[in-house]
Amino acid sequence: MARPGAYPEVVLLAGGVGGARMAAGLEKALPAGALTVVANVGDDDRFHGLQVCPDLDTILYTLAGVVDRGQGWGVERDGTRVLDQLGTLGAPTWMKLGDRDMALHIYRTWRLSLGWRLTQVMGEVSRRMGVESILLPASDDRVPTQVLTDSGMYPFQEWFVAHRTVPQVRALRYLNADRASITAEVIEAIAHAGLVVIAPSNPFLSIEPMLALRGMRDALRARRAPCVAVSPLIGGKAVKGPLDRMMAAMGLAAGNAGIAQRYGDLIDGIVIDQQDADDRAALRDGGLAVFATRTLIGERERAAILARQIIAWAHGLTVRAAGERCASHGATS
Ligand code: FO1
């Protein structure tokens, strides 16, 4: 629930570079400790015997201020001496793991081998790296995303990095998701939130692997706070990545209608780019509150401005009952 004062406790569901940038904006806009980021773990995989968690780590490095801003992931000015030597030894090196990044994977794998939960590991490294927000894996269990394409089934990182998302996606499998649960920490954060935000991440690759986890949809449906999604589309297109192609291939309506359709009645409102302002009427007819603004958040300051706008706009929103379609949320802009 909202704290005494102007700011709500915010829970952000996030994955990928867009999710990390939204997290940084919200962190800047909120008092210390008011943001909890729940991160996708469907991208996680083992490399060289080490547990690698790209979405969690991209968010961690972004919030710690050490991310490589050019590529959006990994540690700035990192070296590749370990990877180069692994290559010499005959190991595959298509996943570019930097030297300092590798230290995190070694630490995480070591702690997990001692019986720590992933939640505990990420809590500890966040603290040690000076991150003020709470960073939670959506689950402590392994729930690898597999990508079914025209040329076969791939583990997520193999499709995304080694094959540069070229094989056309036909379906996604979130392995083990129906048996894996969200954590008690995630349940509690959502229950106490004053606002839930879905980041402008790829819905199929970053958000739905979390929604598929046991307990996630129930936790969201039981929330007392409004839930708003930030559309990843600008001018009807994804800023980067395979989202446009995936929406078409998976039979989704183009543009923001498709994004709204995908989140269904989990969301009370949607934030869209001002270039797509013409989508407002149709989205409102579908029962959503709509806010149109500049959503490109490549720069930190823009992310913070967007975050402040979302918090102010969402303040007046009410939570729709599941399945309800009412157009009473007088939308701004
Ligand atoms: N993305 C790439 O496009 N190429 C890489 O070699 C690569 C390495 C990598 C290593 C660690 C890490 O945390 C992320 C890395 N990423 C790389 C990004 C990652 O594949 C994506 O961020 C996602 O999993 C999609 O959200």
Closest CA to 297 of 245, 240, 246: 240
Residue nearest to atom 22 of ligand 1 (CA): 16
Q: 333 C-alpha to center of ligand 1: Å?
A: 36
Residue nearest to atom 4 of ligand 1 (CA): 161
145-184 tens-digit pLDDT? 999 999 999 999 999 999 999 999 999 999 999 899 999 9
* H or E stretch covering 134: strand 134-137
Residue nearest to atom 10 of ligand 1 (CA): 97
pLDDT > 50? residue 325: no
Predicted TM-score of the model (pTM): 0.95
Residues with CB under 6 A from ligand 1: 15-16, 43, 52, 54-55, 57-58, 73-74, 95-97, 101, 157, 160-161, 206
Closest CA to 76 of 61, 86, 63, 56: 61
Report the nearest atom of ligand 1 relative to the CA of 156.
Answer: 24
Residue 306 near residue 293 (C-beta atoms within 8 A): yes
In the three-class reduction of DSSP (H, G, I as helix; E, B as strand; rest coil), residue 195 is classed as: strand
pLDDT category of residue 240 using cuts at 50, 70 and 90:
confident
111-141 tens-digit pLDDT? 999 999 999 999 999 999 999 999 999 999 9
Residue located via tokens 């998701």 = 177
Residue located via tokens 């930030």 = 230
pLDDT category of residue 4 using cuts at 50, 70 and 90:
very low
User: What count of other Cβ atoms lies within 10 Å of the Cβ of residue 212?
Assistant: 21
Residue located via tokens 């090196």 = 93
User: How many C-alpha atoms does 230 have within 13 Å on its Cβ side?
Assistant: 31
Q: Stretch 67-74: mean pLDDT, rounded?
A: 97
What DSSP string runs through 71-84? TSSSBTT---HHHH
Q: Give residue 198's Cα distance to chain centre.
A: 7
